[in-house]
Amino acid sequence: MDAYEELLERLKNIDLISQIGGLLGWDQEVLMPPKAAALRAEQLAWVSKTGHEATTDPRIGELLTELEAREDLNDVQSANVRLARDSYDKATKLPTEFVEEMAKHKSQSLISWQKARAEDDFSIFRDDLAKMVYLARQKADYLGYEELRYDALLDIYESGLTVSRVDPLFAGLRENVAPLVKAVVERGERPEMGFIENNSWSQSGQESLSQSVSEALGFDFAAGRRDASTHPFCGGPNPDDVRWTTRYSETDPFGSLYGSMHETGHGLYEQGRPRNLDFQPAGQANGLGVHESQSRLFENQVGRSREFCEWALPIWKENFPENMEGVSAEDLWRAVNLVEPSLIRTESDEATYNLHIMIRYEVEKKLIAGEIEVDDLPDVWDDMYEEFLGIRAPNRTLGVLQDIHWSMGAFGYFPTYTLGNLYAAQLLAKAREDLPDHDEQIRNGDFAPILDWMRSRVHARGSILEPAALIEEATGSPPSPDAFVEYLQDKVKRLYGLTA
């Protein structure tokens, strides 16, 4: 067998193991009975151990060395070799027993986080989180780093990402975005929110609304499904099986709708991956920053546009006729774009969202570096919210317990959300050049042109290129925050009559 064919066969087996683990993880968060938690931890640990053993098989290293010496590989083949090398090098640095331990603890930690969040009691999660932090530090040490331990964790989620790259990014956003937030707050003008805040919103109506919008955006429910979970997410093993979740609150219909649109964006990306590259690294989505660009684009830059609100208003009225009586598209547009410091990241507005990410980033840097410990976290979290957003959580559920990521050991993940915002704005700016009728298409509920553009420029390209190179190929320019800042300034100016 040719070395490349043998490599692909081994990579397919590794991918299948990962797909099985993903389905077990989805079931754990959506359907699994509580008493199955201990067994599920064992199952997931076995899957992780088996996948790690397959990934670190010395034969893969031999095949990669042989293929790296060849000069006849095409772009896809070269990408598969590059990505397999990165995965192999990272995996061989992690002992199998460590991978098994981390997988087992992840399952246990997720359960204790859910319980702590539901009961507003940080102490329930405290010990599991402390162990997860210890394991994350250990993982960074195994992987290795040049400057900061946290750099090793950032690189897991976005290749080449480091503190030295991220710090200036957040500094630049603070300089340009913080003044917008301050100007809006000082102006003291709040859109009419009574129709939202003074009504109760049935879960059945929210489910119908979310389903209708997701279908209209282009999500194929014959190849996917929608469910409810504690924390919204998108998973599934293959473009033929993509699963996303949202959560519902009878006091806030925006949370479920825009959570659904966010996860639909992820799902559209997964369903659009190149099918001729199934089971190959080059056919996977291109890093979390690019993935997040698709979710943020459909959630915010499409979903919070004036044109989208005009299209969606009849669907709102169909599902909530009494609540939406007398509400105009203008009212809806202003309400969904309320700029106001808030406690919950997933429900925050576009102007403050990156401040939520910045807080988590700063906390993680200190935590992984050992500058703060787990017992310090609740108060450090609240202090930073007071410093950067001027608000303080009344309880731990709305504070340090709101995100699932740390229970899963996903330290270094949060900055990719901000990268996604920047990529989304840059992609849409270029798409608008190619789609001069974009606004009218959205107003008419014709989402096919923007989805087709993303399919050809982003989804179908898989991971053949590095993330930054993909953005440059799609837009003609390297990644930059300029398009996002311009987009946000323009929107806030129109909403609040500001010139800043």
Examine the pLDDT at 471 and tell me if it is beyond 80: yes
Paired strand residues for 246: 228
Residue 158: inside a domain, yes or no? no
Output the DSSP codes for 78-147. HHHHHHHHHHHHHHHTS-HHHHHHHHHHHHHHHHHHHHHHHHT-HHHHHHHHHHHHHHHHHHHHHH--SS
Residue 50 tokens, joined: 């088996």
Examine the pLDDT at 283 and tell me if it is beyond 90: yes
Residue 124: inside a domain, yes or no? yes
Residue 119: inside a domain, yes or no? yes
Residue where a domain terminates, one of 111, 144, 177: 144
One domain, residues 415 and 468:
yes
- Identify whether the C-beta of residue 420 lies closer than 8 Å to the C-beta of residue 292: yes
H or E element, residue 17: helix 3-30
Q: What is the 3-state secondary structure (H, E, C) of 314-366?
A: HHHHHHCCCCCCCCCHHHHHHHHCCCCCCCCHHHCCHHHHHHHHHHHHHHHHH
Residue 154: inside a domain, yes or no? no
Q: Which residue has the higher pLDDT, 107 or 212?
A: 212
Residue where a domain terminates, one of 114, 144, 174: 144
- Identify whether the C-beta of residue 123 lies closer than 8 Å to the C-beta of residue 113: no
One domain, residues 212 and 67:
no
Residue 223 tokens, joined: 């190849």
- Single-letter residue type at 263: E
Output the DSSP codes for 445-464. T--HHHHHHHHHHTGGGTTS
DSSP 301: I
Residue 492: inside a domain, yes or no? yes
One domain, residues 58 and 102:
yes
Residue 153: inside a domain, yes or no? no
One domain, residues 434 and 310:
yes
Residue 393: inside a domain, yes or no? yes
Residue 177: CATH number of its domain: 1.10.1370.30
One domain, residues 314 and 176:
yes
One domain, residues 132 and 245:
no
One domain, residues 124 and 182:
no
One domain, residues 406 and 306:
yes
Answer left, alpha or beta for residue 53, where phi above 0 means left and psi between -120 and 50 means alpha.
alpha
Whole-model pTM: value is: 0.88
Give residue 468's pLDDT band: very low, low, confident or very high (50, 70, 90).
confident
Residue where a domain terminates, one of 144, 172, 203: 144
Predicted pLDDT of residue 449: 98
Examine the pLDDT at 71 and tell me if it is beyond 70: yes
Q: pLDDT above 90 covers what percent of the chain?
A: 87
Tens digit of each residue's pLDDT (9 = 90 or more) over 477-500: 988 888 999 999 999 989 988 764
Q: How many domains does the chain have?
A: 2
One domain, residues 116 and 252:
no
- Identify whether the C-beta of residue 384 lies closer than 8 Å to the C-beta of residue 363: yes
**Which listed residue (263, 270, 299, 350) is catalytic?**
263
Q: What is the mean predicted confidence (pLDDT) over 289-310?
A: 97
Residue 172: inside a domain, yes or no? yes
First and final C-alpha spacing in the chain: 63
Predicted pLDDT of residue 172: 81
One domain, residues 167 and 127:
no
Q: What is the mean predicted confidence (pLDDT) over 408-421?
A: 94
Query: Is 263 a known active-site residue?
Result: yes
Range of the domain at 271: 163-496
Angle at 102 between CA 8 and CA 375, to 5 degrees: 145
Examine the pLDDT at 40 and tell me if it is beyond 90: yes
One domain, residues 218 and 288:
yes
CA distance 398 to 377: 14
One domain, residues 99 and 185:
no
Tens digit of each residue's pLDDT (9 = 90 or more) over 107-166: 899 999 999 999 999 999 999 999 999 999 999 999 999 999 999 999 999 888 899 988
Output the DSSP codes for 163-223. HHHHHHHHHHHHHHHHHHHHHHHHHT-----HHHHTS---HHHHHHHHHHHHHHHT--GGG
Average pLDDT taken over every residue of the chain: 95
